[in-house]
Structure 1
Amino acid sequence: MAFRLFLSLSVMLFLTACKAGKQMPKLSNKKLCADSECSHPILIARALQDYYPGDCRFIPIQQGQIVYVYAMLKDRGNLFWAGSVQNTYYGEQEARIGHFPSSVVEETHALMPATTEVKTTNWDFYCN
């Protein structure tokens, strides 16, 4: 009986630890994008310095990397942009979109105007 209880607790702890992701607090309720789905990059930037994120909402960036920016957060989150790092940094992993401080990059090419205001959703700040 004690072994069954131990086995059941072990399985429950394992399943809890293996959850796919978690919801993180929103950085902002609005963002500026090129379109209503934020599917087109609005600008290309180059990293001025390394950035090591504090949590999973953010992406790591290395100095000199190219970053495609898809959204600029507004209101209380206006210091953050959302984008994808492009380079050999990820190796065989696919690049992912995440947030980073706008101060760690410099704009190199404007692509599309960020004139569409979009409400952020829980998925904007979901961590895998």
Structure 2
Amino acid sequence: MSIQNGAEGKTWLELQQRTCQKAGAAFVPPEAGMRVAVARDIREGVMPVNGLRHAVKQGGVGWFIWPGEGPLCQDTDYFVPVCIEHLDTWCPLALPFLGLPPGWRFLTDGPYVDMWFDQKIYDLPID
């Protein structure tokens, strides 16, 4: 993820801060080197894009990002760990949401955006 390649001439961190302000959420920026779990089929262009953030220990995977509206695939290899610096090649549509804190979710197809806090996600931190 290039820090300088955000939309509208903004950096990704600036866009993430703005996204958090719109949602009324605290800004919890992603750490350099953070891993996100991305669905293998995210590059196929299926919409909408879904994301949720768990609380994690240092070095753990907090964000899970997947496409579509149906039930989530249960295959153990459905998600692959991707370093946040490479997420722009997997799913650039998710980048503005990565500053949302643990417990938050998003759903977007580009023009449509929904963000909300999910207490169940917040209460289930993962290692």
When normalised by structure 2's length, the TM-score is: 0.28
Structure with greater strand percent:
1
Structure with greater helix percent:
2
When normalised by structure 1's length, the TM-score is: 0.28
Larger Rg: 1
